[in-house]
Each structure stands twice: as C-alpha cells, then as structure tokens.
C-alpha cells in the first residue's frame, strides 16, 4: 500500500519507518527543508533507540523516501498520516494551525480521493473540523476526502518497540472503506509480518494486539483520556510519596503492593520529580481546556497538574534543607532529558530545576548521555561535561534528575571521593538508600525515609 507521512518528528519517523518495515511504500515530507536534507543524508535528527536502523533498512529496501515536495508526496499515496506538531498555546489549548495548513495543502495538491488520518494528538472534534476544512479548501476539485483518527501510544525512548509490538491499535473511522484501508495498513503489525529490528531472530510469542475500531471522537478521546490517566497515576503516587515521608512509610513498598492488584497495575506509580516531556503535560492541559470549553468540571485533572508542578518546589525544599544557603553552592546535575533513552528536553523537569537553582544563585554543572547540546542552547551558562565524574568534582551536592541506567552503574565510591560534600538528592529514586548510606553519602530521595531503608534491609535479610 502507498502511504504518505506529513511531519517528520519522532511520531512521523517511527510511523513511516515501521510501516515501511511492514512492506508498505512510504513517502515522508516535512516543511523543514533542513530536516529533510538531514534525513536524505542518512542521519536522524533526534535520538530514539533503533530508529536509525529502521529508517536505514527501509531506505535500503527502497520503501521509504523523504522529500520536501509535499505535493508530490500527497499525490503518491492513498492514505495520508498527519504527524505534525500540536503545541500548547498560552491557555493550554492545542494549537491546531499546523493541521489546518496541512488540510489546505492536501486539498490543493491531491488529484485523487484520499484517506486523511490524524496521528498528531488532537482534541476531540478535530476530525470533524478537519473533514470540513478538507472539503471547503478542496471544493473546486470535487474530490472526496475521508478522515480517520489513529492515535499513537508510543513512548519516547521505546517508540520503535511500541510501534511493532503495541497493546492496541485504535482507529476511529466513519465508514467501512476507511476501516478496510486501515486494517490493510496495520495487518502486518497485527499478524507479526514485518522486519523487526529489535528481534532479528524472530519476535517472542505474544498475544496479537487488539485492533479497535471506534468512532472518530472516541478515538480522539481515547488518546487524551489515556495520557491524562497516566498523569493522574503519577501525581497520585507522588502524593503517596509525600505521605510516606511524613508518616514513615516507604513509597516503593506501598506502590509495589498496590500495583500487584490487577485492577491498579504496577506501571506509572513511580514517585519522584513528576512527569515532563511534550506529551503528558501538554495533553493534560489540552484536556482540561477541552472540558472547560464544553462545560464539564475536570478539576481532578487540574489537581494532578498542580501536584506535578509542586514536585519542583518539594525538591527545592530538600535542597534548601540540606544546603541551608543555596547561593554560590556548586551543584552537579545528573540528567537533563525528561526521561532516559531520549535527547528530548521539552518540558523536562530538569529545565525548571535549573531555572530555580540559578534564580537562587547556585553554580551549576550538568551531564546527560544525549541531551547536553539541547540543554546548552537554552542554558549556555551551565557548565556541561559528558563525564559524570568531572561534574561531581568539588560539588556541594549532586542531583539525580533522569534515571539513565548508566548513572546507576557509576562507581559511586569514586563520585564520593570527587565531591566536596557527598550529598546526593535522588529525585528519581534510582539508587538504593541503604547502599548510599553505607558508602558514606548524605542521601535523600522521595518517599523513602532513611530510617525505613534500614528497616527494609533488616527485614529482607
Ligand atoms: C507518553 C505516553 O506514555 C505514551 O503512551 C504516548 O503515546 C506519548 O506520551 C504521546 O502522547 O506521544 P512519553 O511522553 O514518551 O509517553 O513518556 P512517558 O513514559 O509517558 O513518561 C512521561 C513522564 O512521566 C516522564 O517525565 C517520566 O519520567 C514520568 N514518569 C513516568 C513518572 O514520573 N513516573 C512514572 O511512574 C512514569
């Protein structure tokens, strides 16, 4: 099947690359000519594990090409995936101008009927507006445009695996033809007939993903409802973590036991610095805005968002408690990306931590396996070094802000020797409190009071 991807961000690239691995012919376009030039030169503009392999294999097989000629791309395919950005406006509402521009472009360039699929995260009712826009902009051509919603549930850092091995594929359609076309698009994924870069010797046996066909508004709502629920879970765990600190519990014991109940589930109950990135924070805001627009009280989500913002203040309280005066203290930051395995720092909690520490006069040095260059562009006055031991040298405190596995594997006794004061504030609960204490660190994390750490260790002996 011939497919078109408009927008070569991480969703567009993963969608295009993986669908080409599923033996479809894909043409991808973007209005950023430099991004297309980078892709044509065989480089990937973002860090996403395995994406380079998927894209390179698809291009070698002649099934994926990149072009700046959007008109040519649009004319070449039957199904067009819109993967452009929908960033938040100041009000929290999603900015849909890129979708509108793409609708105008498709209407102007198409010469045959198309199925236009929303893959960008959009508020409910966008499908309806998109369909109207396509027909208004394309009224002189007399062509018919079908619209569908196909929300993505990819997580940055594991996006390729998530695309190849999804739990569910959701398609919101209006008619049988769109249903048929999207079944054909996803059939190789559902049936496990694709070239999986993650499992070159064959994918492990697992249940087939559920292929869910819904109305377009339901599909749009599923996306926002899912991301907002994940955000709620995280904020809930963070409040439990605060309670643990006050009452002497250990948040990891509490959330582990909660998660063993299949009605709750273990994921997204990790307490710490809160959620960041360009999806959860922006989607929760857009969902709140949408609910307000239609007169539905969603204060529940507003509270989850407020709790999330408060996490930074909770960390700052810890910093002040331990350091007393923050001004002129040398603080080392381990991690800048909003989560491990990505170079994405958009709405990363680390950025707000940097702003707050700088406002209090701290001297900052930072490291991250992938995100240093992106952070340098925003905070040129922070000292960066790829070597964590260098940033620890002479530091009065070290803050763990992203739980990259390589940070866990550092020689912490060497970090101890490098630091002026061996104080570690682990905002991601990455390290073991008792081990850190035994190594001579002053150690603090979220929801794991030190006393509890020793009790846990005693009781597990
Ligand atoms: C999220 C969703 O998980 C995806 O399903 C969705 O497709 C994607 O948004 C999107 O809308 O495009 P992502 O933003 O890549 O994916 O990252 P998550 O793994 O959801 O993590 C988001 C934030 O929550 C990170 O800052 C992470 O550190 C934090 N988090 C996550 C916690 O603080 N605790 C947890 O238990 C889990």
Three-state SS sequence of the chain: CEEEEECCCHHHHHHHHHHHHCCCEEEEECCCHHHHHHHHCCCCCCCCCCHHHHHHHHHHCCCEEEECCHHHHHHHCCEEEECCCCCECCCCCECCHHHHHHHHHHHHHCCCCEEEEECCCCCCCHHHHHHHHHHHHCCCCCCCEEEEECCCCCCCCCHHHHHHCCCEEEEECCCHHHHHHHHHHHHHHHHCCCCCCCCCCCCCCCCCCEEEEECHHHHHHHHHHHHHHHHHHHHHHHHHHHHHHHHCCCHHHHHHHHHCCCCCCCCCCCCCCCCCCCCHHHHHHHHHHHHHHCCCCCHHHHHHHHHHHHHHHHHHHHHHHHHCCCCCCEEEEECCCCCCCCCCCCCCHHHHHHHHHHHCCCEEEEECCCCHHHHHHHCCCCEECCCHHHHHCCCCEEEECCCCHHHHCCCHHHHHHHCCCCEEEECCCCCCHHHHHHCCCEEEECCCCHHHHHHHHHHHC
Q: What number does the ligand 1 atom closest to the CA of 342 have?
A: 15
pLDDT in tens, 246-268: 999 999 999 999 999 999 999 99
pLDDT band at 176 (very low <50, low <70, confident <90, very high): very high
pLDDT at site 452 = 44
pTM above 0.85, yes or no: yes
34 contact partners, CB below 8 Å, separation of at least 6: none
pLDDT digits (tens, 9 = 90+) for 62-116: 999 999 999 999 999 999 999 999 998 988 888 999 999 999 999 999 999 999 9
Residue 195: the pLDDT is 84
Please say if the pLDDT value at position 194 is more than 90: no
pLDDT of residue 141: 85
Kindly indicate the confidence band of residue 451, based on its pLDDT and cuts at 50, 70 and 90: very low
Percent of the chain with pLDDT over 90: 89
Structure tokens at 343: 């170079």
432: confidence class by pLDDT, cuts 50, 70, 90: very high
Which residue has the CA at smallest separation from atom 24 of ligand 1?
275
Per-residue confidence band for 297, with pLDDT thresholds at 50, 70 and 90: very high
Mean pLDDT estimate for the chain = 95
Nearest Cα residue to atom 16 of ligand 1: 155
pLDDT at position 228 is 97
Q: Ligand 1 centroid vs 341 CA: distance in angstroms?
A: 12
Whether 461 shows a pLDDT value over 60: the answer reads no
Quick check: 284 pLDDT over 70? yes
Centre of ligand 1 from the C-alpha of residue 276, in Å: 7
| Residues within 6 Å of ligand 1 by CB | 121, 152-156, 227, 230, 234, 268-270, 272, 274-277, 279-280, 283, 338-339
**Cβ-count burial of 179 within 10 angstroms (0-12 exposed, 13-18 middle, 19+ buried)?**
middle
Q: How far is the CA of 163 from the centre of ligand 1 (A)?
A: 15
Going by C-alpha positions, the residue among 298, 308, 290 that lies closest to residue 349 is 308
Q: Can you give the pLDDT at residue 449? A: 82
- The confidence score (pLDDT) of residue 203 equals 87
Which of 50-64, 191-205, 263-277, 328-342 has the weakest average pLDDT? 191-205
How much is the average pLDDT of 383-404? 98
pLDDT tens track for 108-164: 999 999 999 999 989 888 999 999 999 999 988 889 899 999 999 999 999 999 999
**Confidence (pLDDT) at 140:** 86
Q: What is the pLDDT of residue 450?
A: 67
Residue 168's pLDDT band (boundaries 50, 70, 90)?
very high
So what's the pLDDT on residue 459? 39
């Amino acid at each position: 099947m011939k497919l078109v991807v408009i927008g070569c961000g991480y969703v567009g690239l993963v969608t295009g690359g993986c669908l080409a691995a599923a033996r479809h012919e894909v043409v991808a376009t973007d209005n950023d000519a430099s991004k297309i030039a980078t892709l044509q030169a065989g480089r990937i503009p973002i860090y996403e594990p395995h994406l380079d392999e998927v894209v390179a294999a698809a291009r070698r097989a002649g099934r994926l090409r990149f072009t700046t000629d959007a008109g040519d791309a649009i004319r070449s395919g039957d199904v067009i995936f819109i993967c452009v950005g929908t960033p938040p406006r100041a009000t929290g509402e999603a900015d849909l101008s890129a979708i509108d521009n793409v609708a105008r472009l498709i209407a102007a360039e198409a010469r045959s009927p198309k199925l236009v699929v929303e893959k960008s995260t959009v508020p409910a009712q966008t499908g309806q507006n998109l369909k109207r826009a396509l027909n208004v902009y394309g009224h002189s051509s007399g062509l018919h445009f079908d619209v569908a919603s196909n929300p993505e549930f990819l997580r940055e850092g594991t996006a390729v695996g998530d695309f190849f091995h999804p739990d569910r594929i959701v398609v919101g359609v209006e008619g049988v033809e769109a249903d048929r076309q999207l079944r054909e698009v996803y059939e190789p994924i559902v049936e496990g007939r694709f070239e999986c870069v993650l499992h070159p010797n064959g994918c492990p046996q697992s249940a087939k993903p559920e292929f869910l066909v819904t109305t377009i508004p339901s599909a749009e709502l599923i996306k926002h409802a899912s991301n907002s629920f994940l955000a709620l879970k995280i904020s809930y765990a963070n409040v439990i973590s605060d309670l643990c600190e006050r009452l002497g519990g250990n948040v990891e014991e509490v959330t582990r036991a909660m998660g063993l109940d299949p009605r709750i589930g273990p994921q997204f109950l990790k307490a710490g610095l809160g959620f960041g990135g360009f999806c959860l924070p922006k989607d929760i805001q857009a969902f709140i805005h949408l609910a307000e627009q239609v007169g539905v009280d969603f204060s529940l989500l507003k509270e989850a968002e407020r709790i999330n913002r408060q996490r930074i203040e909770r960390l700052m309280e810890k910093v002040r408690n331990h350091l007393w005066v923050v001004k002129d203290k040398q603080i080392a930051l381990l991690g800048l990306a909003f989560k491990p395995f990505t170079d994405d720092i958009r709405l990363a909690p680390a950025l707000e931590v940097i702003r707050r520490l700088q406002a209090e006069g701290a001297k900052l040095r930072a490291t991250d396996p992938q995100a240093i260059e992106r952070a340098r562009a925003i905070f040129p006055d922070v000292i960066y070094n790829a070597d964590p031991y260098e940033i620890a040298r002479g530091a009065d405190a070290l803050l763990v802000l992203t739980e990259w596995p390589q940070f866990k594997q550092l020689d912490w006794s060497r970090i101890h020797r490098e630091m002026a004061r061996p104080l570690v504030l682990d905002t991601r609960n990455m390290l073991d409190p008792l081990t850190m204490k035994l190594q001579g660190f002053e150690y603090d994390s979220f929801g794991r009071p030190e006393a509890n750490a020793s009790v846990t260790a005693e009781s597990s002996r």
